[in-house]
Amino acid sequence: MASAFKSALPSWIGVSIGPIIIAAALLGGFWVLSIPFVIWYVFPTLDAVLGKEQTNPAPSEKSMQLKWHRLNLLLWPILQFFILFGLIAFHKGLDLNGWELTGLFFFPGVMTGTIGINYAHELMHQPRRGDRWLADILMAMVLYSHFRSEHLLVHHRYVGTPRDAVTARYNENVHRFFIRVLKASYLSAFRAEAQRLTRQGLAWYDLKNPFWIYWLLQLLMLGFTYGLAGFWGFLLFAFQACIAIFHLELINYLEHYGLTRKYLGNGKYEAVQPHHSWNAEHRATNWLLINLQRHSDHHYKPARAYPLLHTYPKQLAPQLPYSYPIMGIIAVYPRLWRKFMNPKVKAWRAMHYPEISNWQPYNKGTNPPPN
């Protein structure tokens, strides 16, 4: 019991972001900058001090009780709900000027985009129906509910292929990627659910289509927001949702940039392997993001719970030079990003696919001819 609790403590760091936002709202001034300061600067600094975590869970840990690791996932949706809607309901009484109010709702977007969506991602992979409902509630708070269908039915199946909208193409900058993905991921998610229903002999508009749940939850969130704080509260809610969505897709961009699965012909690709996702072993940020940076193993073993995810040596999984916060800052400057990452993509291609000489179709996201 004690060892399980101690093992879970680092994964609770993300929950601390909630109280920081509350304190920033009450203190005002430059305190509203505390969230980006903590996420974008404090954790990378801790990564530099604490180093990388390159060990994997021991076999005995696989049977370990994970209830303390799971409890933070279950508590976060409640905490996020009260923080987000509490700020919306009481924003007029916080005595904040224009830039403070803008900052205050920019940074909850950072919270819902980095912590909330990340926790939703873990919950939607769980077999329990209640966990998936919590994931849907978290995603409805950022108006991006279709992410569950897109992620589970499309991304995990087609990652590293042209059929996966959120696999960033080689030389594609994050700004074009974001605009492309907003439409493409929604359509691919809806198409995947419609096809799933068709295989069951049902129409797309059948009530078994989860999009009805997505739409209803989002309407409830918007209606609740308007009832709490009227038009301005509605705008503040939409603003934080936009910030959250950008953070989600920025992370998607980092995780698979330029990495593709080999085309085998007849519409088929090789099986997903650890080398089809960028990995990062930076200890503190993995505590914050509950091992999301061990992304290679997540795609290789999607059912594996976050405390049990493995890391791999660079020969088996490509490694990002820095943790997600720093790589995200680099990514918003396309020329700098290409300078950092294009040589790494080329080295990855030479290591894993020396037999492929023409990468142009892969770069453009089209099916290349079989070798």
With the CA atoms of 32, 38, 40 and 43 taken in that order, what torsion angle do they form, in degrees rounded to the nearest 10?
180
Q: What is the pLDDT of residue 20?
A: 81
- pLDDT, one tens digit per residue, over 208-249 is 999 999 999 999 999 999 999 888 888 889 999 999 999 999
Give yes or no for residue 59 having a pLDDT over 70: no
Bridge partners, 268 (sequence order): 265
- pLDDT, one tens digit per residue, over 340-363 is 999 999 999 999 999 998 999 898
Contact between 290 and 11 under an 8 Å Cβ cutoff? The reply is yes
Contact between 76 and 15 under an 8 Å Cβ cutoff? The reply is yes
What is the rounded distance in angstroms from the CA atom of residue 91 to the CA atom of residue 111?
17
- pLDDT, one tens digit per residue, over 257-316 is 999 999 998 889 999 999 999 999 999 999 999 999 999 999 999 999 999 999 999 999
Q: Which residues contact 105 (CB under 8 A, 6 or more apart)?
A: 87, 91, 236, 239, 240
Q: What is the pLDDT of residue 306?
A: 93
Q: What is the pLDDT of residue 365?
A: 84
- pLDDT, one tens digit per residue, over 204-217 is 999 999 999 999 99
Look at phi and psi of residue 28 and say left if phi exceeds 0, alpha if psi is from -120 to 50, else beta: left
Comparing 108 with 194, the larger pLDDT belongs to: 194
Comparing 107 with 183, the larger pLDDT belongs to: 183
- pLDDT, one tens digit per residue, over 305-345 is 999 999 999 999 999 999 999 999 999 999 999 999 999 99
Other beta carbons less than 10 A from residue 362's beta carbon = 24
140 pLDDT tier (thresholds 50, 70, 90):
very high
Q: What is the pLDDT of residue 95?
A: 62
What does DSSP say about strands 263-265 and 268-269: parallel, antiparallel, or unpaired? antiparallel
Give yes or no for residue 60 having a pLDDT over 90: no
Q: Which residues contact 15 (CB under 8 A, 6 or more apart)?
A: 72, 75, 76, 79, 115
DSSP 322: S
DSSP three-state, residue 279? strand
State phi, psi for 265 to the nearest 5 degrees.
95, 160
Give yes or no for residue 63 having a pLDDT over 60: no
The mean pLDDT of the chain is 90
Q: What is the pLDDT of residue 7?
A: 80
Q: What is the pLDDT of residue 119?
A: 97
Q: How many CA atoms lie within 13 A of 22 on its CB side?
A: 12
